[in-house]
Amino acid sequence: MYRLRRLRKSQALRDSAAQTHLSLSNLVMPYFVREGRKMRQPVSAMPGVFRFSQDELLKEVEQLRRAGISSLILFGVSGEKDDSGANAYSENGLIQKMVRALKKNFGDELAVITDVCLCGYTKHGHCGVIEKSHKVTKSQSRQIKIDNNKTINILAKIALSHARAGADIVAPSSMMDGQVQAIREGLDKNGFSQTAIMGYSAKFASNFYGPFREAAGSGMKFGNRKSYQMDFRNSDEALREIELDIQEGADIVMVKPALAYLDIIAKAKENFAIPLAAFNVSGEYAMVKAYAQSVEAEKELAIEILTSIKRAGADIIISYWAKDLGQWLKT
């Protein structure tokens, strides 16, 4: 008889044989930011998540640092929307101001990542510019057409404005073809060769983004994102997306969501020697919030989930539990 239970006998033995360890340095905390003052506005679909004004964000990040987390990703909740997302690259825009304030207060001790997309800044809520020739009627609303090349030019402008504000890493999430290349070229031409790119490389058209869209006010007015985000039936295509992002100059590639896509994470890790990120998304977080009956139960679930993402092969994990986990692991 093989007695595999020998090494399960005590916590000390289990710990000594454990293969996977969460590390706070690999965790990224997402933050939703908004205009205003003294705002710390709860997001109803995501208990424990808030939209912060600049003053409150600075206080919050102080706590984040104390919890042992030193990197974050910013999402803007903008009230100023148009058809092409022009407010996303204004020099004095929401994200640009937040990045400057964070960098002024925390310097290089904090890694600042910015999400680069249009959906929070367009009236229609899509991640790209809708083709001019394309009039949206009710019957056509299922097959909207996004102008790829117009969109990647705008993404390059947004990324450049974030880099100018001091972002360490820009993270294009709109799933347009060639977005990483357009951004890399724009950054390099303007003297930002040291700004890194984290591609949302294999981002699936997922049903797990619902709570995020409420938080960011970035839901679509019509149609869906299936003509640009990936079909969840595919895995070869995910590897091609990742390979292309690497060729285009990505420094980090990402798989998103995480939990229903652990197979993709594992394949990506097996196939590419590059830092791999996984986004443990809003719906994954909200499901646990709905299910866990106590903080203790939530903590155990979060640790199991994040460990499984790491075990699958993710080097970097973006998670709404990042700060909590820092606090939990310290106490």
Binding residue count for Zn ion, defined by CB under 5 A: 4
Comparison of 32 and 192: residue with beta carbon closer to ligand PBG: 32
Per-position x/- string for 105-144, each x denoting binding to Zn ion as judged by CB under 5 A, each - no binding: ------------x-x-------x-----------------
Complex with ligand PBG: residue 31 or 331, whichever CB lies closer: 31
Per annotation, catalytic residue among 9, 103, 132, 256: 256
Nearer of residues 31 and 212 to ligand PBG, judged by Cβ:
212
Q: How far apart are CA 208 and CA 81, in angstroms?
A: 24
Measured CA distances, 222 to 125, 130, 167, 232 (Å): 8, 12, 32, 21
Q: Is 114 in the site for ligand PBG (CB under 6 A)?
A: no
Q: Is 226 a catalytic residue?
A: no
Selected range binding ligand PBG among 80-88, 137-145, 205-213, 238-246, rule: CB under 6 A: 205-213
CA distance 321 to 22: 12
Residue 212 makes contact with ligand PBG by CB under 6 A: yes
State the Cα–Cα distance between residues 183 and 190, nearest whole angstrom. Answer: 11
Q: Per CB under 6 A, does 209 bind ligand PBG?
A: yes
The contact pattern for Zn ion, residues 226-265, with x = CB under 5 A and - = no contact, is: ----------------------------------------
Q: Does residue 173 touch ligand PBG according to CB under 6 A?
A: yes
Other CB atoms within a 10 A radius of the CB of residue 326 amount to 20
Among 282, 306, 324, 325, binds ligand PBG (CB under 6 A): 282
181 binds ligand PBG (CB under 6 A): no
Between CA 69 and CA 290 the distance in angstroms is: 25
221 catalytically annotated: no
The residues pairing with 112 across neighbouring beta strands, listed in sequence order, are 72
Q: How far is the CB of 134 from Zn ion (least distance, A)?
A: 18
From the list Zn ion, ligand PBG, none, pick the one residue 319 interacts with, judged by a Cβ distance below 5 to 8 Å according to partner type. Answer: none
- CA 258/CA 104 separation, integer angstroms: 33
Instruction: For residues 228 and 205, give the distance between their C-alpha atoms in angstroms, rounded to a whole number.
Output: 8
Catalytic residues: 203, 256
Binding residues for ligand PBG, per CB under 6 A? 115, 117, 119, 127, 173-174, 209, 212-213, 218, 281-282
Binding residues for Zn ion, per CB under 5 A? 117, 119, 127, 174
